[in-house]
């Protein structure tokens, strides 16, 4: 089954991993489809927030090791002569699909419906807000198999939650419950499974009520600032601030407030 991309009339896109027969594991085709979904979301001016979730009992368990390793090895062999794409597939589909080192400044909300391990955890680190069903489980399980979580987890996790909590996840390689990782600070909210999408979309609607350019530029300032020292981060923040204050939305927001009406955002 495919990766579903469902745009709504409310500026919210829902992206769904629909491969329950393989626990929502991803092979080359599905990594490529997920990368393409993020690129479509980024390019669509009418799409302001994305919610990503899974079908069935799993959010995402990462790469389908039965098929992905032979596929990526064969693809790499074909690309030795400098070819970067074959039949729509790229060597970097896997890392782009899990939002590693991707310049995506629109907000992404994870609605974690079930098991979130391996590449699922990698992608979770690239999401801005995270809501999980109380039955969901989480884990950086690669060390149990002598492997390495190289899709961004060792970089992002210690920057997103307290160091001891991050190292418990990274080094013990245990599978933990949603309430436990909520205590660690990895999640915004835990809820019953039947309320998962409702709660995730509530966050999305709260975001889309705000100026879309201001929201996007705020995320950009945060992500770019985290990658440099504080002096450079302040320079980035000042430049982005000037850009936002010069926008049409920066005129519309205060005007709508003064006139006691809902702003009509132009996204520019």
Q: Which is it for strands 189-191 and 129-133: parallel, antiparallel or unpaired?
A: parallel
For 40, phi then psi, to 5°, come to -65, -45
Are the C-beta atoms of 190 and 201 separated by less than 8 Å? no
Give the gyration radius of the chain's Cα atoms: 19
Residue matched to tokens 């980035």: 236
Longest dimension (CA), the chain: 63
- Are 95 and 151 in contact by the 8 Å Cβ rule? The answer is yes
Chain Cα centroid distance, residue 115: 16
6 given a catalytic annotation? no
User: Of the listed 6, 29, 85, 122, which one is catalytic?
Assistant: 122
CB 139 within 8 A of CB 173: yes
Residue 116 host element (H or E): strand 115-117
Catalytic residue, candidates 29, 142, 220, 237:
142
DSSP assignment letter at 110: E
- How far is it, in rounded angstroms, from Cα 197 to Cα 63? 24
* Distance (Å, whole) CA 244 – CA 246: 5
Is residue 122 part of the annotated active site? The answer reads: yes
Point out the residues that are catalytic. 122, 142
């Amino acid at each position: 089954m495919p990766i579903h991309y469902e745009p709504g009339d409310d500026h919210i896109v829902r992206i769904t991993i629909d491969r329950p027969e393989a626990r929502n594991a991803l092979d080359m085709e599905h990594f490529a489809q997920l990368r393409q979904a993020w690129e479509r979301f980024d390019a669509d001016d009418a799409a302001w927030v994305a919610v990503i979730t899974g079908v069935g009992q799993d959010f995402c368990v990462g790469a389908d090791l039965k098929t992905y390793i032979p596929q990526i090895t064969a693809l790499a062999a074909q690309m030795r002569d400098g070819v970067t794409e074959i039949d729509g597939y790229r060597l970097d589909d896997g890392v782009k699909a899990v939002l590693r080192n991707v310049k995506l400044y629109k907000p992404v909300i994870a609605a974690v419906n079930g098991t979130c391990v391996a590449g699922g955890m990698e992608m979770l680190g690239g999401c801005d807000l995270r809501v999980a069903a109380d039955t969901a489980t989480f884990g950086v399980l690669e060390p149990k198999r002598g492997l390495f979580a190289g899709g961004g987890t060792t970089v992002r996790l210690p920057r997103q939650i307290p160091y001891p909590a991050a190292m418990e996840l990274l080094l013990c390689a245990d599978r933990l419950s949603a309430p436990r990782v909520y205590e660690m600070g990895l999640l915004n909210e835990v809820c019953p499974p039947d309320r998962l999408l409702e709660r995730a979309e509530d966050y999305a609607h709260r975001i889309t009520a705000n100026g879309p350019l201001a929201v996007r530029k705020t995320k950009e300032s945060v992500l770019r600032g985290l990658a440099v020292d504080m002096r450079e981060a302040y320079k980035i923040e000042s430049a982005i601030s000037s850009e936002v204050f010069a926008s049409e939305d920066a005129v519309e927001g205060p005007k709508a407030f003064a006139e006691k009406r809902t702003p009509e955002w132009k996204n520019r």
